[in-house]
Amino acid sequence: MKVHWFLEARFVIRNLQEFAKSAEFCSSSQSRLIRKYPSKWIGVYRENVEASADGLDELIDELKEKRIPLSDTVIRFVSEEQRTLIL
């Protein structure tokens, strides 16, 4: 039972690391993404833009069609407007 738990933990950690890399890709590639996908929703999986669409529902449908796991995908609206987040 301990081995099973350990393998699950490694799988979760690996997925979180991949998700973090995809989130970092979105941040570091912001200007390129704005040029290529202005005013679009994008789905980034394993540091690649796997889908883009005008609407969120469209994007989700496209990701599901490609069998890309939504839980492991960074979904973002690409906007040229600077946003201020209040935390």
> In this model, does residue 85 exceed pLDDT 80?
no
What pLDDT score was predicted for residue 81?
Answer: 76
- CA distance linking residue 49 with residue 59, whole number of Å: 11
**Angstrom distance (rounded) from CA 45 to CA 57:** 17
Local confidence band at 80 (pLDDT 50, 70, 90 cut-offs): confident
Return the closest-CA partner of residue 72 out of 34, 51, 46. Answer: 46
Range scoring the smallest mean pLDDT among 31-40, 56-65, 73-82 = 73-82
**What value, to the nearest 5°, has the Cα angle with vertex 64 and ends 59 and 65?**
95
Please report where in the chains the tokens 């005008």 appear, as a residue: 54
Question: Whole-model pTM?
Answer: 0.79
